[in-house]
Amino acid sequence: MSLPPLVEPAAELTVDEVRRYSRHLIIPDVGMAGQKRLKNAKVLCVGAGGLGSPALMYLAAAGVGTLGVIDFDVVDESNLQRQIIHGQSDVGRPKAESAAATVREINPLVDVVIHNTALTNDNVMEIFSGYDLIVDGTDNFATRYMVNDAAVLLGKPYVWGSIYRFDGQASVFWAEHGPCYRCLYPEPPPPGMVPSCAEGGVLGVLCASIGSIQVNEAIKLLTGIGDPLVGRLMIYDALEMKYRDVKVRKDPECVLCGKNPTVTQLLDDYEAFCGAISDEAAEAATGSTITARELKAMQDNGDDIFLVDVREINEYEIVSIPGATLIPKGEFLNGSALEKLPQDKRIVLHCKSGARSAEALAIVKNAGFSDAVHVGGGVLSWVKTVDPSLPSY
């Protein structure tokens, strides 16, 4: 489905710009008019992480005139395996600032706008309103739904991407011409059902594969060339090296972009909508959450506890809390873990950050281990407050 160009062309290209973008200019479909549109375009990249890294770099190289980058995080050494816009010297630096510096090095003709803040209900509409196109590089469902809702309410298209281990997806959501994200995923998955990249990992180069596809779609939208991924979901399997696409139709009953929408403004709380943890897990964790330091005190005092790590074995091999027994969360979900728990010890559960252990805690408490607890903050808190010599991930 061919669509009209998203932006009008700039008045002219300078001699330096003609020289820099010459390989674009000699492509008939892009040419002078297309490059002028890129120069006049304002694109916001949400996130300067795995997807945001290649997206920002190629958008800059392509000559997008104004590039916005929003990210509130700082560069961590574990980011460098895939977030190629950052380097070793950037560790500890705000990601938005690090990304902006790389963009300027790639193309000093680009105007970079830094939003060193979290994207929230309070600022998303104002920030989005200053851009023609949004490139979504987020890694959590709450922000994805917020990005989608804001884009639809403002009438703006956005290019979406998702990555996990060896699999990637990409699409263009533009309610004016096709479906929105809610048409594809009307409801978020149940809490804990879909692991994050932080829990399950991601092949570093997969970020480049999907991020570059997002930029390809952005260029097509901005210049009005080709057949963008509106109404199509592209699925990539890096292990099999296969691409396929699935048609996604606009849902006439969509609560946001359907015939009779019931969502006419941003939700009050997207975290609650997506459910960081289930209601059962939240209830189980209430009054049954200890800190990493309290766990250390239990161990030092010789308390009769049975410490359980509910992460996956590959995570356990990276770093583990001394004395922990590995029983992955999946074994709690299918019930097989319960026979491994001693009846005469207090059960203490932990994971990486506390979400998975809270889910396991609900199962354990329902099985009769009423004094069981879990460690809030998990391994991350242990490394930060008890033993900083251990590696984080």
- The active-site residue, picked from 45, 254, 257, 351, is 351
CA dihedral sign of residues 334, 336, 340, 344: positive
- Separation of alpha carbons 311 and 356, rounded Å: 8
- Separation of alpha carbons 85 and 148, rounded Å: 25
Amino acid at 136: D
- The active-site residue, picked from 180, 197, 207, 274, is 197
Q: Catalytic site residue 351?
A: yes
First to last CA, the chain: 43
Q: Catalytic site residue 183?
A: no
Measured in degrees and rounded to the nearest 5, phi and psi for residue 193 equal: -75, -40
| Nearest of 365, 292, 366, 358 to residue 324 by alpha carbon | 292
- Kindly give, in sequence order, each residue whose CB lies less than 8 Å from that of residue 340, ignoring residues fewer than 6 positions away: 325, 327, 331
> Measured at the alpha carbon of residue 216, what is the angle toward residues 242 and 230, in degrees to the nearest 5?
80
- Kindly give, in sequence order, each residue whose CB lies less than 8 Å from that of residue 300, ignoring residues fewer than 6 positions away: none
Q: Identify whether the C-beta of residue 216 lies closer than 8 Å to the C-beta of residue 302.
A: no
Catalytic residues: 197, 351
